């Protein structure tokens, strides 16, 4: 890919995607051509803009405790390897520039430029830099934001290549199949759960955006940037997005665990969300079963503890997931138990009470018995946001 060729085709495609997405061009987008090594360097620099090395190491250890990565993995290098091999284009809002890999072929060019130039249009209207800032303690809200930005860009590209009919030319079943393929085909790759989490915003995110456009038009997508989706559940189910169904508030009181964990200290709190749970469950059950078991998610919270005297390879993670109904909780309990028994049979536990499921991973030997009752006290029941008594 040469610089002049990239610039010429970018201008042409930007005009076409702008018309298909109904977002006027209000500024310019520079074009730069990068080698794979340049892509890796860019990704590495971006990685540390919002998180320290210690935080990234902690996130990797949490993922290892949850079975997403192997214990002792170097999460930074794994992610950089994936991006170096898989990324063909990047839109950089700081530079108002689209970066295209030299390895992109002519056959791939329309797809890469069509998607990335849609990010340029988003940036002109919605300010992508503000959407890249972390939301401490709510990873699921960050995931929802990623689904919107990537799903919108992919839907804009699809609207362009589909011709005058736009997204109406693509049956919903086709987009649903793409989402299922993103879940199932990742099983054949290294680190499949991480791969799913990277692919799903492009697939399921695009399907949800397309469904919203068919129902309400592109203006409804524009409105989401003013009132952002708050959960990945909303971005996986267009009916929940239209209803702006809130998460069930799962409150955590870590001090309730002090007596059971005298040698441990709280180091992190966060959320998982339906999308993350779906990517995990798809490792152990068929795609359709994983989707069914993750659906009905209501809200969650997880607490992460390390030994005060020195961290173990994997931290102790204790989480609570609230479900829309007891039947939903029971279905998830069965699938998640299977997942954990395959990943970490001796260091995990799953318990259910009605419509809430408690789990723990990275459990030190001999601690499980004392942990079970204390952990329930750390997540006191609360009134459900949907108006149902818990």
pLDDT of residue 1: 61
Rounded Cα distance between 291 and 46, Å, is 32
pLDDT of residue 389: 39
This prediction's pTM: 0.93
Alpha-carbon torsion (355, 380, 361, 233), positive or negative? positive
Residue 235's contacts (CB-CB under 8 Å, 6 or more residues apart) are 143, 144, 147, 148, 151, 201, 204, 205, 208, 229, 241, 275
- Gyration radius from the chain CA atoms: 22
Question: What is the full per-residue pLDDT of the chain (390 aa) written as tens digits?
Answer: 677 777 888 889 999 999 999 999 999 999 888 888 888 888 888 878 888 889 999 999 999 999 999 999 998 889 888 887 777 888 999 999 988 888 888 788 889 899 999 999 999 999 999 999 999 999 999 999 999 999 999 999 999 999 999 999 999 999 999 999 999 988 888 899 999 999 999 999 999 999 999 999 999 999 999 999 999 999 999 999 999 999 999 999 999 999 999 999 999 999 999 999 999 999 999 999 999 999 999 999 999 999 999 888 899 999 999 999 999 999 999 999 999 999 999 999 999 999 999 999 999 988 877 788 899 999 998 655 554 433
Find out whether 229 and 241 touch, Cβ atoms under 8 Å: yes
Q: Looking at domain 254-378, which of 3.10.290.10, 3.40.50.1370, 3.30.450.20, 3.40.1000.70 is its CATH number? A: 3.40.1000.70
**Six token digits for residue 329:** 């909780």
Query: By C-alpha distance, which of 104, 102, 117 is closest to 16?
Result: 117
Span(s) in the chain for CATH 3.40.1000.70: 254-378
Alpha-carbon torsion (79, 182, 146, 331), positive or negative? negative
pLDDT of residue 390: 38
Find out whether 302 and 269 touch, Cβ atoms under 8 Å: yes
**H helices within the chain, ranges in order?**
3-21, 36-47, 53-65, 75-86, 106-126, 139-161, 172-185, 192-216, 218-226, 232-236, 238-243, 274-281, 287-294, 326-343, 368-377
Strand partners, 297: 323
Please report, for residues 4, 110, 127, 353, the alpha-carbon distance to residue 11 in angstroms, rounded to integers and kept in the order given. Answer: 11, 12, 21, 57
pLDDT of residue 63: 96
């Amino acid at each position: 890919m040469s610089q002049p060729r990239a610039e010429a085709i970018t201008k042409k495609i930007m005009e076409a995607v702008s018309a298909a997405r109904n977002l006027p061009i209000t500024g310019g987008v520079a074009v730069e051509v990068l080698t794979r090594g340049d892509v890796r360097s860019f990704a590495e620099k971006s990685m540390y803009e919002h998180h320290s090395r210690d935080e990234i190491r902690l996130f990797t250890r949490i993922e290892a405790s949850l079975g997403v990565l192997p214990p002792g993995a170097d999460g930074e290098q794994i992610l950089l390897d994936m991006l170096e091999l898989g990324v063909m284009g990047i839109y950089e809002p700081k530079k108002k520039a689209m970066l295209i890999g030299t390895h992109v072929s002519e056959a791939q060019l329309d797809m890469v430029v069509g998607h990335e130039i849609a990010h340029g249009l988003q940036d002109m209207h919605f300010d992508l830099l503000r959407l890249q800032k972390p939301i401490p303690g709510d990873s699921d809200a960050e995931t929802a934001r990623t689904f919107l930005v990537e799903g919108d860009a992919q839907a804009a590209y699809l609207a362009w290549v589909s011709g005058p009919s736009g997204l109406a030319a693509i049956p919903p079943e086709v987009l649903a199949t793409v989402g299922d393929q993103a879940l199932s085909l990742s099983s054949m790759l290294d680190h499949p759960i991480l791969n799913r989490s990277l692919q799903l915003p492009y697939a399921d995110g695009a399907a949800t955006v397309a469904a919203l456009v068919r129902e309400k038009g592109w203006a409804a997508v524009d409105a989401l940037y003013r009132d952002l989706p708050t959960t990945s559940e909303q971005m996986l189910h267009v009916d929940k997005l239209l209803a702006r169904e809130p998460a069930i508030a799962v409150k955590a009181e870590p001090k309730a665990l002090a007596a059971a964990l005298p040698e441990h200290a709280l180091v992190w709190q966060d959320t998982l969300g339906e999308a993350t749970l779906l990517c995990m469950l798809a490792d152990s059950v068929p795609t359709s079963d994983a989707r069914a078991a993750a659906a009905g998610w209501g809200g969650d919270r997880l607490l992460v503890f390390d030994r005060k005297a020195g961290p173990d390879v994997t931290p102790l993670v204790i989480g609570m997931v609230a479900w829309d109904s007891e039947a939903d909780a029971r279905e998830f309990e069965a699938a998640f138990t299977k997942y954990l028994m395959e990943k970490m049979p001796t260091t995990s536990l799953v318990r259910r009470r009605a419509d809430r499921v408690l789990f723990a991973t990275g459990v030190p030997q001999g601690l499980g018995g004392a942990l079970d009752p204390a952990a329930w006290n750390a997540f006191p029941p609360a009134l459900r946001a949907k108006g149902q008594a818990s």
